[in-house]
Amino acid sequence: MLSKAIRRYKANELTHLVVELKAPKVKIDEKEILQVEQYAISVTKDERFKNVKTTWAFWAISDDYGDYAEYRMKNGGGENGKIHEADNLTIWVKTWAQVIDENRARMQFFQEKLEYEAKKSESLQDFQKRYAEFLQGIIAEELGDDPPTAVSEMVEAPPVQRKKKTG
């Protein structure tokens, strides 16, 4: 079993994800669902969460599920394995294939929506505009999309003055 508490943007609000991992050969069915439900009921009634707005998500994951689990999913909302939802508690039955597919789709969505190609020349120009007062006399020439081949191409450093030791 795995568990993770996530604090939201509000001070007194927690979301707990509890995952029951079953061996691949164990089909999630009546016995496994009853086990998760009993655990969910006892945990959600715990006094430690009395004054904190807490939501609970319980997942049971294996390679397959049986007829009873299918029946519960159809009557529990049918939403990607949901078998129970009431108040602050949701219980899900998932296969590893579902978990992987859902996360693959989520990753693809973010890759498509957040796709951004930064170009060095545009970045350098923006950097020079924003911090011109600090960079005066430091950057000798505008860099193209190719990186500099030597430090002298990138930076024009002022001469170093060393103090003479006396004594």
pLDDT at 92: 93
| Single-letter residue type at 120 | K
DSSP letters, the chain, are -EEEEEE-SSTTEEEEEEEEEPPTT--B-HHHHHHHHHHHHHHHT-GGGTTSEEEEEEEEEES-B-HHHHHHHHHTT-STTEEEEETTEEEEEEEHHHHHHHHHHHHHHHHHHS-----HHHHHHHHHHHTHHHHTTT--S---SSPPSSHHHH--PPPP--PPP--
Residue 20: count other Cβ atoms within 10 Å of its Cβ.
21
Higher pLDDT, 125 or 94: 94
The arithmetic mean of pLDDT across residues 129-156, rounded, is 57
Reported as a pLDDT band with limits 50, 70 and 90, residue 139 is low
pLDDT one-digit tens code per residue, 70-86: 999 888 666 789 999 98
Residues β-bridged to residue 6: 15
The total number of residues shown for the chain amounts to 167
The mean pLDDT of the chain is 77
Contact 21/57 with Cβ under 8 angstroms? Answer: no
